[in-house]
Structure 1
Amino acid sequence: MSAAEIVKPDRVEMILLARTLCVPVERLAYLADLPDEELRAFRKQVSKALFDANSHGIARLARVSGIVPVAVMANVAQRSRSALFVASFARVLDLSKAVGVAQRLRPPLLAEVAAELDPAEVRTIVGALPPALIVNVAVELQARADWMTLANMVGHLPWETVARALAELGDVALVQTSNLVGDAALRNLLVELTPVERIAGLVAAVAEHNLWTEAAAAIGHLPEDKLLAATKAAAALGPSEHASFAALIANARNEQES
């Protein structure tokens, strides 16, 4: 099994587990037949074990957080340069203090911290940050090609903020992120948020970078106006691209009918 076969919307848990274990997703190919529920339960067990291993020092910091100014805690977090430490620290702080620390972190470190947070933590901590800062984090994640964390943000942040972030992302980032949004309903909302004016650029990016597989789920749910724009864009690129696009549409319709 190749990495390309693993990195699909229904294999998001594989990617999250690989990230938790700090190993390439290819090394977990032998787990690919396990149900998502089992992978998710195992990932949470691993996360808890990693947290418990460092819980003593973090608990000591949490006990003094009530008397230490947020600016000082943020300075300690920034100087640590450890996203895992900062994420673990954020988990034991009151939400207001966690947000206060996060607001003072530079976007590169904050992007790394976001990658260490579970989806629910993204919603509560990252979701409470100013929208402009969230957009900066999304741009930083794009520069790192961290599509998994971007997908988590899309699925767990207010849609007004998501729309602002999407406007700053390139076409490749939008395709890759949409591919990893595991919930079909959320993926459809992402398609709805994409202006029809961007469709031609997205199709060109898919063709240039051979992202037909990654784009399949989104293409299969395009509304009529965007489907027409995509079809015209694919035809304009050449016979090969048009054929690839037509094949995706046919496959998507067959899956919807089956």
Structure 2
Amino acid sequence: MSDLVTRAQIVLLARTLHVPAERLAHFEKLGAARLHELQQRIARRIFDEHATTFRRLAMLVPVIPLSISLPLVQRVVPPTMAGRAAGAVGVQHPKKAAEALGMLDVSYAADCVPYVDPRTVGALADVAPPGPVVAITNELLRRGDYVTAGPFLAYATPALIRAVEAGVHDDEGMIRSAAYAYSGANISAIIRHMLHGPAQRIPRLTAAVLSGSAELRSTALSVYARCDEDVIAALGDVTFDVGSPEQNADFVRVAVEAGAVRELLTFTGHLGPSALDTLAANPVTGDHAVMSALVAEVAERPEPATLRGLVNLLERTDAETTRRWGRRLFESDDPVLAELPAIVTEARLWPALLRILAEIDAETQTRLGEVWAKLPAAERDMLERRVRELRLDTRLATLTVTMNIYG
């Protein structure tokens, strides 16, 4: 997970504890996964403390008609208490809770939502009427309360997704809310539906992102990078089709300036051929600051997702760019170069990496050959076999000969 996702989890934890997010900034070192687990555990503890009391209140639901109880509740019960009680009512009387949802004042309901136990939302998702859900969602987004809206995306059913797609028109709000949804699988399911849904919402949403603020673009990238591979590829096709060359260049520069290089490379690594070619031909690949940041990210802490993004991009840039930044990558410290073959194998990048290396000077190949000569014999044999299969024997002769001399 990225720093952007970690910051989102800090905000959610602060909301749960009712403290300013700044007071929890030192928890960022825990990382997004541990922060998410901590927030979930604290939330469960808070809701479970009052579970018995709220279950007793739920026993009154069949006795008092909603037409009598709801107006009274909205006048005298604070949203904090009503939201927490709603969970127990929803679990024991889901149909009544769904009926009540349509009778509540939208503003009051939106006030209550931050205090509803998310675990009970799943029990109501299948019976909740889409109309009130859309109205409450629109109210939350109007308020800019993305922290509340985001986590509930995990419980969106296909019917609710269709209703939100058609009835919620705040594209920026939807992106900002998704940033607070932890699960990439849930985000992927929603975006995948919108990609293939009749409303064709994604091109409009993408246009809003590309024309929006720098913060919105980096937020969108944090959402995109957590999606499944097929969803990233589809989003990439739309992004580079909808965006002008200037907008696409700005999208990349903003990611670098926001420190979201890891997300950018993950996104790039799953782009389809057309989107990759469009990006590689963009003048932004001639921006020294941008390319230096991309290579530095991989050279300092290589991993399959980021290496794939850099290699796929460099393979498609012009020859001079490939040589320049490919050489910079292979100037990494010896320990990084030594672990590179295993990462390349895991990412299935040998053909592309070897084609890039074939563009590099003999001096760089010699140094790399000396490092890779320490690989097990079976791995060296595999590498040489790949070189032959790609018919790069001559262009990579310095590499293979050096490995054999020092191996």
CA separation of 1:146 and 1:249: change in aligned 2, threshold 3 A: same
Give the structure 2 partner of residue 237 of structure 1. Answer: 247
Which residue does 2:318 correspond to in 1?
none
Higher RCO (CA < 8 A, seq sep 6+): 1
Shift of 1:69: 1.1
The Cα offsets for residues 53-87 of structure 1, whole Å up to 9 and x where unpaired, read as xx75x566444433211211211221135222212
Match of 1:184?
A: 184
Question: How much does 1:141 deviate?
Answer: 0.9
Matched length: 247
Matching residue of 1:111: 110
**Alignment partner, residue 215 of structure 1:** 220
Task: For 1:9, give the aligned amino acid.
Answer: V
Unaligned runs of 5+ in 1: none
Any conservation in 1 of the 2:98–2:129 contact (CA below 8 Å)? Answer: no
Note closer, same or farther for the CA distance 1:25–1:159 as it changes in structure 2 (3 Å cut): farther
> Take 2:127 and 2:111, find their aligned partners in 1: how far apart are those partners?
17
Query: Partner residue of 2:319?
Result: none
Alpha-carbon offset, residue 137 of structure 1: 1.0
Q: Secondary structure at the match of 1:180?
A: coil
Tell me the SS of whatever aligns to 2:64. Answer: coil
Q: Is the 8 A contact 1:151 1:177 kept in 2?
A: yes
Name the CA distance, whole Å, in 2 between partners of 1:126 and 1:78: 23
Code of the aligned partner of 1:149? T
Deviates more, 1:157-166 or 1:178-187: 157-166
Shift of 1:122: 2.0
CA distance in 2: counterparts of 1:60 and 1:226, whole angstroms: 48
TM-score in terms of structure 1 length = 0.79
User: Which moves more between the two structures, 157-166 or 219-228?
Assistant: 219-228
Compared with structure 1, are the counterparts of its residues 137 and 105 closer, same or farther at alpha carbon in structure 2 (3 Å cutoff)?
A: same
Q: Return the letter of the residue paired with 1:212.
A: R
Normalising by structure 2, we get a TM-score of: 0.53
Q: Distance in 1 between matches of 2:22 and 2:170?
A: 27
Pick closer, same or farther for the CA change 1:238–1:185 going to 2, 3 Å: closer
2:218 is the counterpart of 1:203: no
In structure 1, the partner of 2:21 is: 25
Structure 2 CA distance for partners of 1:19 and 1:128, relative to 1, 3 Å: farther
Residue equivalent to 1:228:
237
Percent identity for Structure 1 against Structure 2: 18
Q: For structure 2, which runs of at least 5 residues remain unmatched after alignment? A: 270-297, 308-407
2:265 aligned partner: 250
Alignment partner, residue 76 of structure 1: 72
Aligned-residue RMSD, C-alpha: 3.1
